Amino acid sequence: MRKVFIYRVLLFVLSVGCLAGCSGSGSSSALPATQAWETPVLIEADNTYGGYFPQIAMNASGDAVAVWLQDDITNTNNVWSNRYTAATGLWGTPELIETYNTNGAAPKVAIDASGNAIAVWSHYDGTRENIWSNRYDASTGHWGTAALIEIDDSGDASNAEIAMDASGNAVVVWYNFILARNMSDIWSNRYNASTGSWGPAELIENDDTGHAYGAHVAIDVSGNAVAVWAQSDGTRYNICSNHYSTTTSHWGTATLIETDNSGDATNAKVAMDASGNAVAVWTQSDGTRNNIWSNRYTGSMESWGTATLIEADNTESAYSPQIAMDSSGNAVAVWRQDDGTRENIWSNRYTAATGIWGTATLIETGTTGSASNPQIAMDASGNAVAIWLRNDGIRNNVWSNSCTASTGLWGTATLIETDNSGSASNAHVAMDATGKALAVWQQYDGTLNNIWSNTFK
């Protein structure tokens, strides 16, 4: 009898923990009970050279664009793309979107409500790395001509990130390393959809005490943007932020958004809601282990709140946080957490109605090997889909779990690809307004890496 009682108590505690971790804000919208992952499909057809580092963006209507790097005969990395059409539920034909015959790196992509997309990447020209871009025009069904969007030849520009509003305006951030100063800075450029042109690149932080790197950016429906990055003060790395206002058409002044001086803060990510509010997450060392922290930006006040610890596991370190936000300001964070034996994927949820984070929740229970590379996407109603890699003792596979806003429950972790030829890696996920999601990843077939996708609907 005592064992039965304890078992029931444990079930209750686990249920409460999950509700705290992923409950919605009273929305009646829910993921359909029959929603599931389908069969993976190959979205690039080059069987001679490998594909790497896929990224995907999806708009509210379910149209999506993926980009990746593809080797060629000269062992040069080129940027390719493919488009998913919601009306047909099919991917198109892969397309080379740049013809600059030197190595490209780290492509990223964003999409607007009409299906127009912008891709950005860094290109090595033989002397230095620069940031390039190309735009997909949904009305013509074609990509344009790749264009250089920064012209600073004093150093290497790399690791570009992009965000795009529903009207097609975009903001790109990157870091620029200046060899002569032995210093790296954060720069930005903005694409104006009404003029169809990029502006001049702009320095958005001017702290020369130490290096700045790892910039990430989010944008609201009006085109206001928030960027976050790690900034060294000469002793440790801190998390800083800046805000782009469409009212002034300028960036503001860089701001420190955490004040913990115990150790380095890095790996900052940010997401924004429809009203211009933002939530940032990052990894923070306390001198012993790494923890996951967060802060919230209030758009109406143009100010950050107080940094908050969102996981309380002191067994080992936590890493690789990611964040997504719905239109009402609810947010879901995921990260990988070391339990002393292996790394697992955890999540927590910020509820806009209460203004507080819930309790961190374990969203997968694999025991064969460590999990890594967590990614998260969220629809307009607060439903969320997470994906990650898990090692089965031989190879890495892609797994997923989903959280329904109306019930506040995570489901059961699901394997979304069954190719055992080799490891999967570099998985990424995006979601539309109604709960449909698309995942992309690179998969080794024993000879080369290919780009695959799966649909959750």
Domain of residue 102, CATH code = 2.120.10.10
Residues 231, 239: Cα–Cα separation, whole Å: 6
Binning the chain into helix, strand and coil, the percentages to the nearest 5 are: 5, 50, 45
239 bridge partner residues: 230
The reported pLDDT for the residue numbered 75 is 75
Q: Across 4-76, where does the E strand assignment appear?
A: 41-42, 51-58, 64-71
| Cα–Cα distance list, 355 to 25, 298, 328 (Å) | 11, 11, 12
Torsion sign (Cα): 233, 310, 27, 440: positive
pLDDT at 21: 52
Among 293, 294, 264, 261, residue whose Cα is nearest residue 277: 294
- Taking 50 as the pLDDT cut, the residues of the chain under it are 1-20, 23-28
Note the pLDDT of residue 312. Answer: 84
**Contact predicate 375/386, CB 8 Å:** yes
Percent of the residues in the chain that have a pLDDT greater than 90, as a whole number: 80
Nearest to 352 by CA among 377, 325, 375: 325
CA–CA separation, 115 vs 92, rounded Å?
14
pLDDT tens column, 299-356: 999 999 999 999 988 889 999 999 999 999 999 999 999 999 999 999 999 999 999 9
Residue 442: which H helix or E strand, with range? strand 437-444
> Partners of 356 in the beta sheet?
351
With contact defined as beta carbons under 8 Å apart, do 384 and 376 qualify? yes
Backbone torsions φ then ψ of 35, nearest 5 degrees: -65, 135
Q: What is the pLDDT of residue 22?
A: 59
Going through 144-196 in order, the beta strands assigned E by DSSP cover: 147-148, 155-164, 170-178, 183-192
- Name 103's bridge partners: none
In order of 87, 95, 162, 209, the CA distances from 227 in angstroms are 34, 30, 10, 19
Q: How far apart are CA 443 and CA 417, in angstroms?
A: 9
What pLDDT does 139 receive?
A: 97
Q: Which amino acid is at 48?
A: T
Contacts of 7 (CB under 8 A, 6+ apart): none
The one-letter amino acid code at 167 reads: S
What is the span of the domain harbouring residue 62? 2-456
Q: What are phi and psi of 322, to 5 degrees?
A: -135, 155
The CA distance from 174 to 176, in Å, is 7
Phi-psi region of 268 (alpha: psi -120 to 50; beta: other; left: phi over 0): beta
Residue 389: how many other CB atoms lie within 10 Å: 24
Tokens of 452: 């695959």
Name the DSSP letter for residue 421. S
**Dihedral sign from CA coordinates of 361, 362, 364, 365:** negative
Q: What is the pLDDT of residues 79-130, one digit of tens each?
A: 999 999 999 999 999 999 998 767 889 999 999 999 999 999 999 888 889 9
Q: Is 11 helix (H, G, I), strand (E, B) or coil?
A: helix
Total residue count of the chain as it appears in this document: 457
Q: How many domains would you assign to the chain?
A: 1
CB contact at 8 A, 100 and 110: no
Which pLDDT belongs to residue 167? 98
Report pLDDT for 282: 99
